[in-house]
Chains A and B, each alone.
Chain A
């Protein structure tokens, strides 16, 4: 088997990998999906038969080489099969975000000129029909779930199952054509086209070749020793490059099993039932899981609670070291073993993480406590850094070198460099071919030598060679004394405190950094309740002296941790205030995806920013707000400005505490 894996020559397309898997792992599970309360399973041999039938069906329907086939829906085997079947007939699959509004969908369908669309269910079909009068390229729409579809006009609408039936019937007639098309495919042909979600401007179609996908899948599978015995839960959007790499690229390269949940709501239950060995989740999911554990422990009996607290304390101390294979004393090991029996084991089982061999998180910064919680339980959670244009992987953390504050070392085969402004560039076999029909953007992002700008600023840590991402490159600036100013780096550290919902740090071209803080009403409200602090409104709670005290301690803790970093120690927050209103997308202060709009806030709260820098200890302000029904009103408040202790910056004066 090992020799087969190395012979990339013969395994240079997804359909060829499928054929290899059907031959080598024929009886092993390829896909599972929970339906009607039972896990249905397809072996690689069965999956190949299904996909082949679908591909023949596509031929019957008239799919040509080079056509684009859009795929919209939640993660289900049949939709993955549609993508591979499209590749078999020489078409290019284009998975779309199923929650996209009709407008975005219309743009993407039009842009790639999709002749065929495969939908999950009625909801998606309705959306496609809605945009069809604007998008004229669509010839046939297919759907998997028959429910509610009976009354539709079926002249250009097909049940996916019927497509397969027709394909099987046409086997003798079209098998030759299919083989001919399969034989023609080459390593540098397009494998898939993925649209980037497009936070700025229109979405761009990222063209990834077979080489991109297969090289990346091979390298990353070897990096983590993935094998056909692994399994994943496919629950992240199919249009996202990560899902394509995990659920198709790596799955086909190594032959592991892809499990599809019953419905989006049952994901946690399904996770527990499957117990995957390889798992990816954005920080948000890990956070939610941790919160639910903590809430349930609050309600647990006294004995259980004490046991949990005691052993978790121990795990936090020695767990990560044991996981990294560092020396730990025998008694600690023994106690950890006991804890595993009594607490960690059952807990991991409840979360569905018992079998995890490799877990990844990426996308945004993860709170160190959250990260350490999972690692202390013995779950090998790591971080990676990547983007669609790189076929995911740019850097990742090798086993034994895992930390919350870095994103790891360059992935195998990837070159990374930092330019003078601090922006991160990479070049790799996974680097995308081009943006579809957008030569201008392609040229702007990828230089002739193949280096791609990430738009993120970062630096390599001395000694370890780990990359640390500090901020979006365009947000990074300089302070008055020339030292680096990375607001998001500090804001993220502040936001790791559950009591702080949002933070906005100022300091570009100034002598010192200052911050606006937004408290988290749920967390602080809960805390107030427990401490008998009465309050009538958000504004009152935000201005409470006890709350200010608590926030001040958080800011000072953050300063200590920022000061540890010689490059960024200038970014410590000297003065801060707690805002009297929650930053809101309706008031234009946040984007719809809840990202802080720095310039607008600075402009709107100009008086407050001035007060932070002119040394006054309180400031009176009036702010216009928009209520949910669109009416406008004014909030008046006098805000207290607090000074936070900072750690002396110059390395020669290390605080001797």
Chain B
């Protein structure tokens, strides 16, 4: 299925493009602890790519490497055909990579609208003086950004909490607002760190639909970490399986499901 560099067609008929991001032999150490050991995989344009694995497998560390928060000791990160130098997270954000967090990281006292507006930070051009005086570019820009933000609010069906401080919202909605903020940056690649964690079945179904719709409507490439195997197998196009910092499987959900090593990791065979 992955024989050419030109992408493939998913079972539901979506065209997946060429390689967008490639991780080459990444190794990440914290002192003596090896969090990620010699892992390589790629993420393709328009794809929903999942990273799964038991607790402590190194999934979040992997996301933090992509995100530029951690710098691997060995290996290279290639983005759109170029080797990416060590970058700070905000520089990575400017490249068009946005993310959500496992533990919600919103501004609790600010409204939904304002939180999502902060997602557009990297796209604002007006300088601090213009912003402070709300003059010139700042004024023009605000209207423009607000319009984009309203489209996202409409998309995520959170009109009713537009003006509500996010701290007062239930968990499932906060997660949705966080997704909204990430979308506001108009990312090319969206990283989701356990978007369904702690949700009930209905909230999970909603979130799944939003993830699929984001991919479908905006053509955004998505890389997500998830514990819930059912969810992953349903929505991901390809899955990387990690265990103890190593990659033990990579392929379509079906391939991964039948991979003996993966079964071992999930059914709990002892490691020696």
Interface residues, chain A, CB within 8 Å of chain B? Answer: 35-38, 147-148, 150-151, 262-263, 265-266, 269
Contact = CB atoms under 8 A, between A and B. Distances in A.
Closest 10 CB pairs of A and B: A265-B160, A36-B150, A37-B150, A266-B160, A262-B159, A263-B159, A266-B159, A148-B213, A36-B154, A150-B216
A35 B216 contact: no
A83 B216 CA distance: 31
Nearest to A266: B160
Interface string B210-221: 000100110000
Give the most central of B154, B155, B157, B213: most A CB within 10 Å: B154
Contact of A147 (B12, B150, B217): B217
Nearest to B150: A36
Given A148-B213, A266-B160, A269-B160, A35 B154 contact: yes
A147 B154 CA distance: 11
Contacts of A38: 150
A614 B100 CA distance: 69
A500 to B, nearest CB: 31
B157 A263 contact: yes
Given A148-B213, A265-B160, 13 more contacts: A36-B150, A36-B151, A37-B153, A38-B150, A147-B155, A148-B209, A150-B217, A151-B12, A151-B216, A262-B159, A263-B159, A266-B159, A266-B160
B130 interface: no
B230 interface: no
A147 B213 CA distance: 8
A148 B160 contact: no
A260 to B, nearest CB: 13
Nearest to B12: A151
A148 to B, nearest CB: 6
B147 interface: yes
Nearest to A37: B150
Contacts of A269: 160
Interface residues of B, number: 17
Nearest to A148: B213
Contacts of A36: 147, 150-151, 153-154
8 contacts: A36-B154, A37-B159, A147-B155, A147-B213, A148-B213, A148-B217, A263-B159, A265-B159
A62 to B, nearest CB: 29
A269 to B, nearest CB: 7
A263 B217 CA distance: 21
A596 B144 CA distance: 55
B13 interface: yes
Interface in B152-192: 153-155, 157, 159-160, 162
Contacts of A148: 209, 213, 216-217
A148 B151 CA distance: 15
Contacts of A150: 216-217
A575 B13 CA distance: 70
A37 B153 CA distance: 9
- Prevailing SS type, chain A contact patch: loop
A150 B217 CA distance: 8
Contact of A263 (B160, B209, B213): B160
A540 B159 CA distance: 43
A36 B147 CA distance: 7
A263 B160 CA distance: 8
Contacts of A266: 159-160
A38 B147 CA distance: 10
Interface in B103-159: 146-147, 150-151, 153-155, 157, 159
A151 B213 CA distance: 11
B213 A37 contact: no
Contact of A37 (B12, B13, B162, B216): B162
Contacts of B153: 36-37
Given A263-B160, A265-B159, A266-B159, A151 B154 contact: no
A324 to B, nearest CB: 37
Interface in B5-27: 12-13
Contacts of B12: 151
B150 to A, nearest CB: 4
A263 B155 CA distance: 12
Contacts of B150: 36-38
Nearest to B154: A36
Nearest to A150: B216
A585 to B, nearest CB: 21
A332 to B, nearest CB: 39
Contacts of A265: 159-160
B12 to A, nearest CB: 7
A38 B151 CA distance: 11
B120 to A, nearest CB: 15
A35 B146 CA distance: 13
A150 B209 CA distance: 14
B153 to A, nearest CB: 7
Interface in B251-267: none
A255 to B, nearest CB: 29
A21 B217 CA distance: 39
B114 to A, nearest CB: 13
Give the most central of A37, A147, A151, A263: most B CB within 10 Å: A37
A35 B150 CA distance: 9
A148 B146 CA distance: 23
A35 B159 CA distance: 9
Nearest to B151: A36
Give the most central of A35, A36, A147, A150: most B CB within 10 Å: A36
Nearest to A261: B159
B169 to A, nearest CB: 13
Nearest to B155: A147
A148 B13 CA distance: 14
Interface string B199-215: 00000000001000100
Contacts of B146: 37
Contacts of B213: 147-148
